[in-house]
Amino acid sequence: MRNDLPVDGDRLWADVMALAELTDPAQPYTRRSFSPRFLDGRAWLARRLAEAGLKVRIDAGGNLIGRREGSDPTRGTIMLGSHSDTVPSGGRFDGIAGVIAALEVVRSLGNDKPRHAIEVVDFLAEEPSEYGLSCVGSRAMSGYLDPGMLEYTNADGEKLGDAIDRVGGATRDLAQARRSDIAAFLELHIEQGIVLESGNIDLGLVTAIVGIARLEIIFKGAADHAGTTPMTLRHDAGVAAARTIALVSDSASALAASGQGHFVATAGVLTFEPNAANVVPGRARVVFDIRAEDHALATVFIDELDRESARLAAATHVGRSRVALLSNTTPAACDPGLRALLAQSAEALGFSTIPLASGAGHDAAFVSRIAPSAMLFVPCRGGKSHAPEEWAEPDALAAGAAVLREAVLRLEMTAPERG
């Protein structure tokens, strides 16, 4: 590890590992949003934020925030952070690295009062939650958590709104989560791809974050006996879902090869009911995840998926009891000024950088709608993410945190904006 950096790389690494190890032991590394394990992680994180001298609170949207007040209220807040929740059997860096890097930046800046207020944020439920929604906390902060979304339920029937309140939010005062004081938001994250690794580049400067749509389709057939129901008389919801998934894979592959930018579509969630070997599936629920740099392309794809799934369902003698666009975000461009600032900061510290698009969604995509926002990617081994083998080097995390710190100092030194 370079020993000339103004951040403590060992302390940073130790804290990433300490938070990551607060996992469901049967399924490392799992800390699902809203779960008891997630709350364990947040309690640990709240202590660390307090130890760093920050004032800790949970906002109305359920975001955990540590704040150091600034000396010049006209300058607003510099916000740094990411999220501490994981997918099932996820990794130790996705989200966590950004939260702990933010903490380390604040620690390394010492206790002198800055001009800007500085906040470290752990956004609630960035990963798709059990309630069918991702980026719950950053949606709330940017005003994109619609009242209808609060009614989404998990498998136990708990509403998302109730779950947010259960972890410390206050959804009846949800508007209080919305912010207008953020002067800059910077998020460090692992790349989750192989561009940096394969190019031997230290850090990535994100140009834009893809738009992400989630389309839920529930196929509704009849749960008949698998032995006595002839093939010709079946209403097999599972077969309708399977045919649709196969078609989506084919057409997404064709679109991805068509040269219209990054395009992917995935059926990650599929559940059969009753899911018994001798019963024809009476119900099959699929959630499709569709991501595109070109928003128009995603819109056309979703329309076609709606039509084609209806056609395949009819051909299989089943219906669709639900077709719902659970979410549909537009691509988000990172702030040009902050991108330049990050580039200059990296250069000043001797790190190589490259501009690249993010195929993954991030809280920064929502925050960018209310404040200048930018992201810094650190390389991850083999591009592997959302898996136990997810890995980032200690050096890479320290480099990223050092660049974040340098960017904060440069923001502090700029002349205040005159309204």
* Closest by Cα among 227, 251, 234 to 316: 234
E strands present in 293-363: 319-328, 332-333, 353-358
Please select the residue that binds a copy of itself; options are 170, 269, 310, 323, rule is CB under 8 A.
Answer: 269
Residue 415 binds a copy of itself, judged by CB under 8 A: no
Close Cβ partners of 182 (under 8 Å, ≥ 6 residues apart): 76, 77, 78, 79, 367, 370, 371
Residue 318 binds a copy of itself, judged by CB under 8 A: no
Residue 113 CB neighbours (<10 A): 11
Q: How far is the CB of 3 from a copy of itself (least distance, A)?
A: 32
If the CB atoms of residues 180 and 228 are measured against a copy of itself, the closer one turns out to be: 228
How many residues touch a copy of itself (CB under 8 A)?
Answer: 71
**Backbone phi and psi for residue 408, each to the nearest 5 degrees, phi listed first:** -65, -45
* Helix, strand, or coil (residue 187): strand
Residue 249 binds a copy of itself, judged by CB under 8 A: yes
Residue 310 binds a copy of itself, judged by CB under 8 A: no
Q: How many whole angstroms separate alpha carbon 219 and alpha carbon 402? A: 50
Q: Per CB under 8 A, which of residues 80..119 are in contact with a copy of itself?
A: 87-89
Q: How many whole angstroms separate alpha carbon 305 and alpha carbon 85? A: 30
Residue 264 binds a copy of itself, judged by CB under 8 A: yes
Q: How many whole angstroms separate alpha carbon 144 and alpha carbon 136? A: 9
DSSP 233: G
Draw the binding track, 229-248, toward a copy of itself (x: CB under 8 A; -: no contact). xxxx---x-xx-xxx-xx--
Q: Per CB under 8 A, which of residues 200..219 are in contact with a copy of itself?
A: 210, 212, 214
If the CB atoms of residues 39 and 264 are measured against a copy of itself, the closer one turns out to be: 264
If the CB atoms of residues 1 and 314 are measured against a copy of itself, the closer one turns out to be: 314
Residue 191 binds a copy of itself, judged by CB under 8 A: yes
Pick the piece of the chain touching a copy of itself (CB under 8 A) from 66-74, 174-182, 293-301, 354-362: 354-362
Residue 25 binds a copy of itself, judged by CB under 8 A: no
